[in-house]
Amino acid sequence: DGGITQSPKYLFRKEGQNVTLSCEQNLNHDAMYWYRQDPGQGLRLIYYSQIVNDFQKGDIAEGYSVSREKKESFPLTVTSAQKNPTAFYLCASSSSGRAATGELFFGEGSRLTVL
Amino acid sequence: AQSVAQPEDQVNVAEGNPLTVKCTYSVSGNPYLFWYVQYPNRGLQFLLKYITGDNLVKGSYGFEAEFNKSQTSFHLKKPSALVSDSALYFCAVRDTGFQKLVFGTGTRLLVSP
């Protein structure tokens, strides 16, 4: 079945450590996104990528980094510079181009807890 | 910038009663509007979207939404609520220039038996 796979589902990290969240899609979508979800704040965009080897900062990119070496993969690294990394992280993808209407397809999320 | 507002943090409704979850939007140009649902510790699931055409949009699980241009609203509705509809609902609008979505803060729907 086509879809988006995020791993791990739950992750614990000590302060000062970097951690990488995996996101893989087999929907043949060009665009991929990372959102952060905190209670009462909705979803906030961290980074997005329209095409392989290209990505742009979203609204809250500080303390995060991404890469887009393959169409299927868009990993997110939460660095030690992120001051409040405990959150639920959601990866999404969408088709692009003139026919696209912007509907996003989401993974099941990764919950990061900093101890 | 495009934005949406969900004025209610929580909506309570009895099973079998109609439900409405409110959303208002602010956009330049024609809006592309979406509703998503999220169950605990899960990703978001797409319910429906408005791009153009009929103001009443039908979606998944019996949900529908009414686009009202004069009131800049896109309220989610269902004629008869189920306990299983209890979840977090997000309204979203497509941002200009690229199809990334801007989300509201979410509304928790609680349907009591």
Nearest CB neighbour to B99, from listed A41, A90, A94: A94
Q: What is the mean pLDDT of chain A?
A: 91
pLDDT at residue B1 in the model: 76
Q: How far is CA A83 from CA A105, A113, B20, in A?
A: 28, 13, 38
Query: Does A58 sit within 8 Å of B94, measured CB to CB?
Result: no
Do the Cβ atoms of B76 and B13 come closer than 8 Å?
no
If DSSP states are collapsed to H, E and C, what string results for B66-77?
Answer: EEECCCCEEEEE
pLDDT tens readout for residues B81-109: 999 999 999 999 987 666 678 999 999 99
Q: CA–CA separation, A66 vs A73, rounded Å?
A: 10
Residues A57-108 have pLDDT tens digits of 999 999 999 999 999 999 999 998 888 999 999 999 998 765 567 789 999 9
Distance from C-alpha of A100 to C-alpha of A40, rounded to nearest angstrom: 30
Tell me, what's the pLDDT at B97? 65
Give the integer Cα–Cα distance in Å for B66 and B87: 20
Residue of chain A whose alpha carbon sits nearest to that of B108: A40
Q: Is A94 on the interface with B (CB under 8 A)?
A: yes
Residues 47-86 in A contacting B (C-alpha not used; CB under 8 Å) = 48, 50, 58
Count of residues making up chain B? 113
A-B CB pairs within 8 A amount to 63
Task: Give the DSSP per-residue string, A24-62.
Answer: EE-S--SEEEEEEEETTTEEEEEEEEEETTEEEE-TT-T
Residue of chain B whose Cα is closest to the Cα of A34: B100
Q: Is the pLDDT of residue B66 over 70?
A: yes
Mean pLDDT, chain B, whole residue set: 93
What pLDDT, on a 0 to 100 scale, did the predictor assign at position A85?
92
- Residue A65's DSSP bridge partners are A77
The pLDDT score that the predictor gives to residue A16 is 87
Task: Tell me how close the Cα of B53 comes to any Cα of chain A, in angstroms.
Answer: 14
The predicted pLDDT at position A81 comes to 87
pLDDT (average), residues B59-64: 95
Report whether pLDDT(A32) > 90: yes
User: pLDDT, tens digit, for every residue of B13-56?
Assistant: 999 999 999 999 998 888 889 999 999 889 999 999 998 888 99
Residue A41 has pLDDT above 90, yes or no: no
What's the pLDDT score for residue A39? 84
In chain A, what percentage of residues exceed pLDDT 70?
94
Chain A touched by B49 (CB under 8 Å): yes
pLDDT band at A27 (very low <50, low <70, confident <90, very high): very high
Residue B59 has pLDDT above 60, yes or no: yes
